[in-house]
């Protein structure tokens, strides 16, 4: 049986152009990870039971989106790490939207204590993120220079501490300014790849009309993680494989992108319960990489 699991892992690595993407854990039958934002309400109500369901669905690692007051979903970093280990889940990355100059050292230390390999800045930090509740439009207050300076300083702190910093996009970062330059261009051209890299959300890139592969070619090696979030013809978020995004074509460029790991995510699951949707998305991930 171990030989069968080893073959599955080898097959996936080959399909990703020989890029060393870590996918195999104790949950050998599955592939990839889950962004826990998908099951955020369930994580609030029953974090341990929800994590069991995530492991049972076949996911091998998780990305947290529930850091608060030094805890992950009410558990200390060590307790959270130990519980994931019991389930065979790896703590891969953590979205830490409250990170700031003042608390960065503590948040980085907590992420390391929880076993995470990556700290992710999910939106422009420190009050820079703008959201219109009437239209749903997202954007940024302040200047690109302010964001780039923050990412550069915090990214260097993270590197020194022994963890990696990523920035996660929505759609507005792919919208060109008057000179045809996007915020993604600014971030990737003006930060040090030793300290700052990208987690690309493929749904939001698609909404913005961007071609992820073009950015992989322009900034090779800078896209360490994919949020694999699907979109139907009406623009709705759907389980991976149930929409129109050609993930197989994108994954063919995993090596050039610099991909290290990938996560299913679905912010809104529509008629499906989140714990049902993640089962469908795990099937979709397997179809992509096999």
Helices (H), 175-222: 183-190, 202-207, 212-218
Percent of the chain scored above 90 by pLDDT? 89
- pLDDT at position 29, please? 75
Q: How many helices (H) and strands (E) does the chain have?
A: 12, 14
63: nearest Cα among 102, 36, 85 = 36
Tell me how far apart the alpha carbons of residues 46 and 109 are, in angstroms, rounded to a whole number: 25
- DSSP letter string over 125-146? TTTTEEE-TTT--EEESS-HHH
Q: Is 149 helix (H, G, I), strand (E, B) or coil?
A: helix
Q: Is 17 helix (H, G, I), strand (E, B) or coil?
A: coil
Task: Please name the helix (run of DSSP H) or strand (run of DSSP E) that holds residue 255, with its range, or none.
Answer: helix 254-257
pTM: 0.90
Instruction: State both tokens at 238.
Output: 């759907």
Provide mean pLDDT across the span 152-169. Answer: 98
Whether the predicted pLDDT of 1 surpasses 60? no
Return the CATH superfamily for domain 2-289: Divalent-metal-dependent TIM barrel enzymes (3.20.20.150)
- pLDDT at position 8, please? 36
* End-to-end alpha carbon distance in the chain: 18
25: nearest Cα among 54, 47, 66, 46 = 54
Q: How confident is the model at residue 121 (pLDDT cuts 50, 70, 90)?
A: very high
The more confident residue out of 101 and 18 is: 101
Tell me how far apart the alpha carbons of residues 159 and 181 are, in angstroms, rounded to a whole number: 28
Other CB atoms within a 10 A radius of the CB of residue 14 amount to 11
């Amino acid at each position: 049986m171990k030989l069968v699991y080893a073959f599955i892992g080898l097959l996936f690595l080959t399909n990703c152009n020989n890029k060393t993407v870590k996918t195999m854990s104790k949950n050998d039958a599955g592939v990839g990870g889950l962004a826990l934002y998908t099951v955020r309400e369930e994580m609030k109500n029953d974090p341990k039971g929800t994590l069991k369901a995530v492991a049972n669905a076949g996911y091998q690692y998780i990305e947290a989106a529930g850091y608060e007051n030094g805890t992950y979903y009410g558990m200390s970093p060590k307790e959270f790490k130990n519980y994931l280990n019991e389930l065979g889940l790896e703590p891969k990355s953590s979205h830490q939207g409250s990170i700031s100059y003042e608390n960065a050292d503590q948040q980085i230390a907590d992420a390391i204590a929880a076993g995470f390999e990556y700290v992710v800045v999910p939106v422009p930090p420190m009050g820079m993120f703008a959201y219109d509740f009437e239209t749903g439009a997202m954007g940024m207050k302040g200047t690109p220079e302010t964001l780039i300076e923050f990412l550069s300083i915090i990214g260097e702190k993270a590197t020194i501490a022994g963890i990696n910093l990523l920035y996660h996009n929505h759609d507005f970062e792919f919208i060109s300014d008057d000179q045809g330059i996007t915020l993604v261009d600014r971030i990737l051209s003006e930060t040090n790849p030793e300290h700052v890299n990208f987690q690309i959300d493929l749904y939001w890139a698609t909404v913005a009309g961007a071609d992820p592969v073009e950015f992989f070619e322009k900034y090779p090696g800078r896209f360490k993680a994919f949020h694999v979030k699907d979109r139907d013809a009406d623009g709705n978020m759907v389980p991976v494989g149930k929409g129109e995004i050609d993930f197989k074509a994108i994954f063919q460029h995993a090596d050039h992108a610099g991909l290290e790991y990938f996560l299913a995510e679905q912010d809104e699951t529509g008629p499906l319960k989140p714990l049902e949707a993640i089962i469908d998305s795990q099937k979709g991930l397997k179809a992509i990489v096999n």
